[in-house]
Each structure stands twice: as C-alpha cells, then as structure tokens.
Structure 1
C-alpha cells in the first residue's frame, strides 16, 4: 500500500492490489504489440508516475521481485518444453510411420487394410501354410471373406510365368513359348468361364499334342462318359450348372512355374497352382461356399526335329490334383461343393484332414485317390 501524500502535493486515490496485478499482466501481454493507450490507461499511468516520483511504486512496477519471478516461470516452461520435445517428436514420427499405433486407429489404417493387401507374386514353394484368417462368413458381396485367398490375385493375374532363359541347347524364345502354352493350358482348364460352368474345355484341349498316344482319346471319353477311370475333373475344373453357379466373375489364383531341360529334346515346365471357386446353389438358399483345387502339371514342349510331335503343342507328362470341399467318390465329371446347411453327399471321407491352402507341402501321389476333409474353406 502507498503512503498518504503530503498536504502540498495533489492527492491521488489509492489503487487496489488487484488493479496493479491486472495492469501488470496487461502491460506484459501487450508489450509486443504497442497501440495507442486508452484514456483510462493514460490516467492510471500518470498516477503511477506520480507515485514513482514520490518513491511509492509498488513491487513489480518496471522491475522487482514479481517480474523476476515471472521470468523464472517462463524459463521453467521453456526448459520443460525442451525436455518434452524429444519424446514427443519421436512419438509423432512413429505414428507417421505406423498410424495404427494410435488407439482406435483414427486414420483407418489398421491391420485389416494390411491383411487385405495383395500378396507378391509367388516365385517358389512357400515354407509354411498361410496364417489363420478372420472367421468371417462368405457372402455374395464378399465371397472370399475369411479365406487366405482374399489376398491372392484374380484369375489370370495369378499366373505369372518366370523370366525365360535358354536351357542348354534350347533357346530363350523356345522356353518363352513353352511357358506361354502352359499358362494357356491352365487358364483354359481352370479359369475359362464356359469350361468352369460345365462346357467342353476347348481352349485347354487345343494346347495338347494330338500325337501324344491316347491322351486326347482318354480326355474325350472322360468328357463324354465320365467314370472313376476317366474323370475329367482330374485335369479340368468343372461344376454342374444345374447344381451350383459361380459367385461373381473372380476365381482366386496362386502358384508358380519352373522349367528345365526336358527329356524329349525340349523344355519341361512344372506348374503348381491353386484355384479357389466361390459358389452358391443354383436353386435354393443363398449360402456361399468355396471349393479349392490344387493342380501340379508336368508338361514339355518337345523338339519336333527329334520326336514325332506337333509343333507348338504340349506333351502332358503327368498331372496331379488335390480337391478340397467336393463330395467323395462322385465321378460324374463335375466338382460337387458341400454346404454347411445341408447333409454331405457321396461317400464318407476316408483320407486325412488337410489344409487346402497349404502350398508348402507336396501332393501325395501315392494316395491321390484318398478323399479326406478340409480344415478350412
């Protein structure tokens, strides 16, 4: 509080402490942006100057403990922000690299998006089966929900031949031709929409050498009069259009090819591919199920200068298949998917339970006739 002024000096009303403090704060805030003071501010300033001339200035006016204490608090704030800045910057960098670290994933970049991203092209046999997928039920809009095939390529995009290189005396362009014909065979036998719906697989048949003893005759018999001994599904993926129909136009595909010098003067190609077919009943409840077919083919583009073969056609040396989710011991030329809402048809499974998506294991050629169950579809 200021002392009472002497009688010979003009008197000034006392200014309350809270007014001093407010004035001090306002002055500190406004020093960086000077402006014309108001009449009230000029009056207060004049009173302060008069009190200063009389030695009556309160602490904190111009200099003093209050201002120094304020400067100290500001310094501590600056030090605190400097200390916090490093971990905050690191945290912001981590979030920028992986936004899913934020709780609730506000940017929508969680593991679901990663799980649905396409897989890179398969260049060799994988070392393990695909990991478990979310237990989602497939629907007409999402026929591959809950399946590892969700990340596989669509149709022909999943058949990517390796780079062609010369093999021994077989030139590069000959190797490229063999790989191209092998892809055409795979597409015609497993992806052609008409063939999958039960039509004759003409595109696939056109790739095979008619001079190969008995091959085309056997395939013709199988397509015309299927039986246990001559069943076309050993080479072609076919569904009975009166029983089921495909869901959409997408068949998921994954696999790879390798090549080497063949035993008939040409280049031999091995193709190992898995195809996933989502289907529904042709007439009945709308329930989506999937049939998974893995095929391993050994073919060769032989040298017509050394062997009695047709130029530009493939010799089919061996074919193996593993079919998941199709009725056992039904040999009518079609695949027959099982639906969870109905009783199984065909004979009871006699083989082991297998994961149809496991491409890391070899097909058991000694037990190719065994029909087992699948651990997932």
Structure 2
C-alpha cells in the first residue's frame, strides 16, 4: 500500500487570484483604512497582470459555461414578463370586470348594480339570460335580482346600425330612416310624458300621414281605448294615479337592422325589451313590468308608391308584456306587486321568461304568468 497522498487538484491562477483579492478586500474592510498602501498594492498587481497579458475576469460576468447570449436572453424574458404584468395591472385598474374572478370585489355587496354593462346586442341571443341572485328590488336598487341590471339605461340601449346605401336610397336617406325609427321607439317607450299617459306626439309624427289606417287606429286607441283599440300595442303607459316609475332609468336591450325590400324600398327591423321599475304612491315596495316590442318600418320607394318624404310606413307592431294584469283594456299597464292581491282575469297562457329574447315574439300568445320579473 503506497504512503503517497493523492495529488491535490490544481486551482487556476485567475480563480486563486480572485479569491485572494476578495479575501484581502474583506480583511481590509474590517481593518483601519490605509488608502495609500492599498492604492500601491492594487496598482502593482494590475501592472504585473498586464505585463503577463492577463485580463482580470469580472466577478459579475457570466460563468464560462453559460451559452453565449444566455444572460441577455434571460434579461429579455424578465423584461417581457414585466411588460405583460404592467399591462394587466393597467387594464385591471381601468376595468376590473375584465379580470376573471372579480379580484377587487367590484361587483360584490350593495354595489352589485354597478356591474359591467353588457355590450350592445348585434344578433338574436341563443338562450335566455342566466339566472341572477334573487335579490328583492328596492328604491335604491330597483333592478336588483334582474338580468336588466347590466342593460343600458334608456335611449342609450337603442344603438343604430351603420347606415349604407340600400334600395333606391342613399346612405344619408337610410340614416334618416334609422334615426326616425329610434325617435319612434324612444318617444313610445321611454318618454316620461308617454309613460304617464300623455300623447306621444313625436312617435306619431314619424308615421306617414298617407297611411291613414294605422294613424286612425293609434289615435282612436289613445282617445278611447278598448279591447280592439289598445294603445299598449305601440306605447308603454301607466296610470299615474296607480304607479310611478322609480328613478330616471328604464333598462333597454335589443337591436335594429335594415335591409332592401321589394321595389327598391328599405325595411327597418327593431326588436327591443324595456324593463320598468314601479312603485305605488306612498309605498316603498317595487315591482317591475317587462315589455318587448317588435316593429317593422318601411321607407317605400317614392317612384313606386304614394308616400310623404321623410316619413315611415308601419308594417308591423307587436308587443308582449310581463307582469301586467290580464284582460284590462283601459290603455294602461297594471303591474302586480308581491303584497297585492291579483287583479284582472286569471292568466290563461303558459309561463314564460319575459327576459328571453332568444325566441320570436308570439303575437297571438294569451296572457300568462312570468317566471321572473
């Protein structure tokens, strides 16, 4: 058995020198300072290394085994990650609702009615709105427990499509027809005077006077409503002695479109649902009535039909009302309150979801019950 010891591995000169330099630095850091002696020592060492052609390796440099450019790529990855995080923080600060899970609690508690508004409807939904917490409506939150809580307020929910030339009409003429259609919808369903039972003059002014049968029907229904002359088929009206609208907002959701029709005419299609929060005088109990309306309005080709320039012909006007007494023909909607005994005839139709906009409006449906308000 040999008594020779294994040869110790040699340490590279640059590593040993760096170790000695760092050790010396630590010792001198805790010892009394001698700047002049230290300066001479460092200068002599640097000159000796320069004479040997050796360049000191910085302790901050990348390890010799690291691939070329690895540090740069790593720094670039952290920079990109930092940029992504900055964007996420900025978006979250401006619109917290876009971050999954509501991390900031923006839609919790009594502020749930400020949840992000739904984007405008551009096509028919494929299903009813999802269920929401069954909170009871109050004067402070009249749309609590309703899908309409995230709908637009009033006329803001009636968004016009981009006008384009159609039929024999220019883009400007189509745009005017769309604006006239919006005027009719707003005055018929959102104007405070109309809701109190006043005459909807702006809506009636849209209809071509050369279509006397429609105007005669509407004027008669407003003047002397009965079963055959019902103003509710076009206008939303409540008896001011019975109820009033809570606050200033009526929730609105729907869509409008247009297309070229026969003989170069243009037809405007409108399908909107309006949600009215209501309270009886002297009480705080809130109920909601939901009205859906489907209209078809035509801009006829004046070369083929006798028409008034700038006016519209009414082809169709249908409605369904949710939470209103059945078979009452006095020209007003009559909401029923949870604490109130039902009025009017018992419902004879099926139960329906008044918020379901995925189905076509059944113009012949009997008065039934609603699954929610």
Q: TM-score, normalised by structure 1?
A: 0.71
The verdict on how the C-alpha distance between 1:286 and 1:258 changes in structure 2, with shifts beyond 3 A counting, is same
CA contact (8 A) 1:170 1:261 kept: no
Aligned to 2:223: 224
- Label 1:32 to 1:287 Cα distance change in 2 as closer, same or farther (>3 A): farther
Identify the residue that residue 245 of structure 1 maps to in structure 2: 244
Aligned to 1:270: 269
Q: Report how far residue 329 of structure 1 moved.
A: 0.3
Structure 1 residue 136 displacement after superposition:
0.8
The residue aligned with 1:320 is 318
Task: Tell me by how many angstroms 1:172 deviates.
Answer: 1.6
Q: How far off its partner does 1:320 sit?
A: 1.1
User: Is residue 2:131 matched to residue 1:132?
Assistant: yes
Please give the alpha-carbon distance, in whole angstroms, between the structure 2 residues aligned to 1:167 and 1:32: 90
Q: Are the equivalent residues in 2 in contact too, given 1:349–1:373 (CA < 8 A)?
A: yes
2:300 is aligned, of 299, 302, 314, to: 302
Long gaps (5+) in structure 1: 1-30, 38-85
Q: 1:346, 1:190 → 2: CA distance? A: 23
SS at match of 2:330: coil
User: What is residue 332 of structure 1 aligned with on the other side?
Assistant: 330
Assess, with a 3 A threshold, how the Cα gap between structure 1 residues 287 and 312 changes in structure 2: closer, same or farther: same
Deviations 1:89-119 (A, max 9, x none): 99x97x969899xxx9873346786981000
| 1:291 alignment partner in structure 2 | 289
Distance 1:358 1:329 in 2: 23
Aligned to 1:108, which of 105, 122, 142?
105
CA distance in 1, matches of 2:229, 2:257: 28
- Asked if the contact 2:258–2:266 (Cα under 8 Å) also holds between the matched residues in 1, the reply is yes
**What are the equivalent positions in structure 2 for 1:148-297 lying under 5 Å apart?**
148-263=147-262, 265-283=264-282, 285-297=283-295
Give per-residue Cα distances to partners, 1:122-146, cap 9 Å, x unaligned.
1111111110011111111111111
User: How far apart, in 2, do the equivalents of 1:240 and 1:293 lie?
Assistant: 16
- Give the match's secondary structure for 2:188: helix
CA displacement at 1:189 relative to structure 2? 0.4
Q: Please give the alpha-carbon distance, in whole angstroms, between the structure 1 residues aligned to 2:304 and 2:102.
A: 65
Cα deviations by residue, 1:59-80 (Å, 9 ceiling, x for unpaired): xxxxxxxxxxxxxxxxxxxxxx
Q: Distance in 2 between matches of 1:211 and 1:142?
A: 45
Go from structure 1 to structure 2 and tell me whether the alpha carbon gap of 1:263 and 1:230 turns closer, same or farther (over 3 Å shift): farther
SS at 1:206's partner residue?
A: helix
SS at match of 2:172: helix
Of 346, 349, 356, the residue aligned with 1:348 is 346
RMSD (Å) for aligned C-alpha atoms:
3.1
Q: What is the rounded CA distance, in whole Å, between the counterparts of 1:362 and 1:303 in structure 2?
A: 28
User: Which 5+ residue runs of structure 2 have no aligned equivalent?
Assistant: 1-25, 33-77
How much has 1:188 moved relative to structure 2?
0.9
Q: Take 1:292 and 1:228, find their aligned partners in 2: how far apart are those partners?
A: 21
**Pick aligned residue for 2:362 from 357, 361, 364:** 364
Paired residue total: 293
Structure whose CA Rg is larger: 1
Contact 1:156–1:191 (8 Å) recurs in 2 = yes
SS of structure 1 residue aligned to 2:206: coil
